[in-house]
Amino acid sequence: MKKITILLLFVLVGMLSSCNNGNDKKLPPDLINISKSAENPTDKQAVISFDKTEFNFGKILQGEVVSYTFHFTNTGNVPLLITSIDKSCGCTAGDYPRDPVAPGKGGEIKITYDSKGHFGFQSKTVTVNSNAMPARTTLTIKAEVRTAEQL
């Protein structure tokens, strides 16, 4: 029994390590320079600077879908690469640039919120993950969801 377990473990490890569907996009190593802390910046670093990191839609009708676009600038000295965004709720969606943003250039992250099934004060976050300083930035959208009778 122990031999079968070990054999299955080796087969599983082999299968997992050989999974490569050919769709892997190779990124230049200089784009993936995620700083470990703000106290230890490097000479070559992307820096993501947002105009604002929070937006309040105010009162909206329950079921309404609203969007807001956050603007940012790469104030660093190497290309900025947004690697992913993490949403706090399935009711939010985000659209962000997939290509590197050159130093001094800007970009947009559009956050969409679907208020269907929600009621009252809502605060949702989207975390932007990148090779920049800071490596993670949280964007917040807020709304007060009301029924038609309450508006």
Domains and CATH numbers, the chain: 2-146 (2.60.40.10)
Determine the Cα–Cα distance for residues 48 and 144; give it in Å rounded to an integer: 29
What pLDDT score does 148 carry?
86
pLDDT band for 115, please (50, 70, 90 cuts): very high
Q: Taking the model in full, what pTM does it have?
A: 0.72
- pLDDT, tens digit, for every residue of 56-98? 999 999 999 999 999 999 999 999 999 999 999 999 999 999 9
Q: Is the pLDDT of residue 11 over 70?
A: no
Query: Do residues 83 and 111 make contact, with C-beta atoms less than 8 angstroms apart?
Result: no
What pLDDT score does 3 carry?
53
Residue 86 CB: number of other CB atoms within 10 A? 12
Burial of 9 (0-12, 13-18, 19+ CB in 10 A): exposed
pLDDT band for 149, please (50, 70, 90 cuts): confident
What pLDDT score does 117 carry?
94
Determine the Cα–Cα distance for residues 32 and 80; give it in Å rounded to an integer: 9
